[in-house]
Amino acid sequence: MELEPLENPIVIHPHLLQRFLKQGKNYANLLALYSFYLYHAQQQKTNQPLATDEFTRKGLNWASDRVKKTKKLLKEMGLIEVVQKRQYYYIHLLFIYTKKKLGEILGNCNIFPNPLESEDSSPKNSQKSKARLKPSIPNVPNVLKKWLEYCDKKGIKYQKNNLSYWEKKLKNRVTIDQQEAIYKAISRGWKDFYLTPQKESKYHKFLGKSLMMEKDCDTLLNLSLENKHYIYQFKNIKITTLASPFELFKKYGYDNKELKKAPIISTIHKKLIGLVQKF
């Protein structure tokens, strides 16, 4: 299978590396901890990632004193600050800006163009693009967009009824099921993709269950896979980890006392469509 280009690479400016170098023997620790915070900021899509000392200690396999000492140095250098929200502590990366903040700094210029817009923005081509890439149901899953791109590349013709058929197949399925089906079809050059019945899905049994780790992860709504990382979308939080659901739920899983059984996936379809992640 052809690998996709790396998106949103983690970049540290040479000026910052020079500042780390001036700290002598602490250089490696500063670089490692700052990179760790940057990575989780990117995963959580925020400039204030939730990264407690205990979570950081486990992630870097460091001693607690090493984490606290290095974090203190980053604070003294003016690169981070700790923000408390209720009982949790977030790491604010002071030089990582949100899109809203960048807009305020740069003015009203369009610095985030729509990636689906082509260079040729004539009305004729624009209407053709909308007809091809936007099926009847709003919020099209990104996996379906990937499939349509594959069909266009391979010259596989499809019509509106094909789109409706594919939408219906993907409906009510967790993202990781959708991804596995489409990856397999693309890798084998098929003209259609196959999804196993819901009762046979090895992931469906985890829906509605919860995890009790460093923070209570309440009611799993969706599960996807990106860059070999599992992305768990719970009702109250999203987490990204290399651990499979079979490992996590065996060690930390429990059934929410308010739920007698996992919800029927059709009852949470609206939530699932809104939570589908980038393929």
Position 149: which residue type?
E
Per-residue pLDDT of 116-166, as tens digits, reads 343 444 444 444 444 444 433 334 467 788 888 888 888 888 887 888 888
CA–CA dist 42, 12 (Å, integer) = 13
Phi/psi region, residue 175 (left: phi>0; alpha: psi -120 to 50; beta: rest), is alpha
d(CA 134, CA 101): 30
- Model pLDDT, residue 279: 36
State residue 10's pLDDT score: 65
Q: So where are the chain's domains?
A: 14-93, 131-279
**Residues of the chain with confidence (pLDDT) below 70:** 1-11, 97-141, 199, 255-279
Report pLDDT for 57.
Answer: 92
CA distance 171 to 150: 20
Residues 205, 175, 168, 151, CA torsion sign: negative
pLDDT at 105: 46
Which tens digit of pLDDT belongs to each residue from 17-43? 888 899 999 999 999 999 999 888 888
Structure tokens at 67: 């984490």
For the domain made up of 14-93, give the CATH fold: Arc Repressor Mutant, subunit A (1.10.10)
State the pLDDT at residue 100: 58
Structure tokens at 207: 């829906």
216: β partners: 212
The whole-number pLDDT of residue 61 equals 94
* Dist. CA 118–CA 98, nearest whole Å: 25
Which residues touch 191 (CB under 8 Å, ≥6 apart)?
156
pTM above 0.95, yes or no: no
Angle between the N-to-C axes of helices 123-133 and 142-154, in degrees from 0 to 180, rounded to the nearest 10: 110
User: What's the CA angle centered on 41, arms 38 and 43, to 5 degrees?
Assistant: 110
Q: What is the pLDDT, as a whole number, of residue 157?
A: 84
CA distance linking residue 118 with residue 38, whole number of Å: 31
- Whole-number pLDDT of residue 32: 93
Residue 180: other Cβ atoms inside 10 A: 19
Side-chain-facing half-sphere of 187: CA atoms under 13 Å: 10
Compute the 3-state secondary structure of the chain and give helix, strand, coil in percent, each to the nearest 5.
45, 15, 40
Q: What is the pLDDT of residue 98?
A: 58
